[in-house]
Amino acid sequence: MNPIPLITRWISWGPYLLSVLRIVAAFLFIQYGTAKVLAFPAAVMPGGGTASLTSLPGIAGVLEMVGGTLLLVGLFTRPVAFVVSGEMAVAYFKGHAVQGFWPVLNGGAPAILFCFLWLYISAAGPGSWSLDSLRRRKTDAA
Q: Are 37 and 53 in contact (CB under 8 A)?
A: yes
Across the range 101-123, mean pLDDT stands at 97
Statement: the pTM of the whole predicted model exceeds 0.85: yes
The pLDDT score that the predictor gives to residue 139 is 82
Q: In Å, how far are 63, 109, 130, 138 from 68, measured between CA atoms?
A: 8, 18, 13, 24
Burial of 63 (0-12, 13-18, 19+ CB in 10 A): buried
Q: Do residues 88 and 119 touch, judged by C-beta distance below 8 A?
A: no
Residue range(s) defining the domain that contains residue 54 = 3-141
pLDDT at 136 > cutoff 70: yes
Q: How many folded domains does the chain comprise?
A: 1
pLDDT by residue (tens digit) across 25-56? Answer: 999 999 999 999 999 999 999 888 999 999 99
Angle separating helix axes 77-91 and 56-73, nearest 10 degrees:
150
Per cent of the chain over pLDDT 90 is 89
CA distances for 40 relative to 1, 24, 29, 137, angstroms:
51, 18, 13, 36
Q: Band of the pLDDT at 18, cuts 50, 70, 90?
A: very high
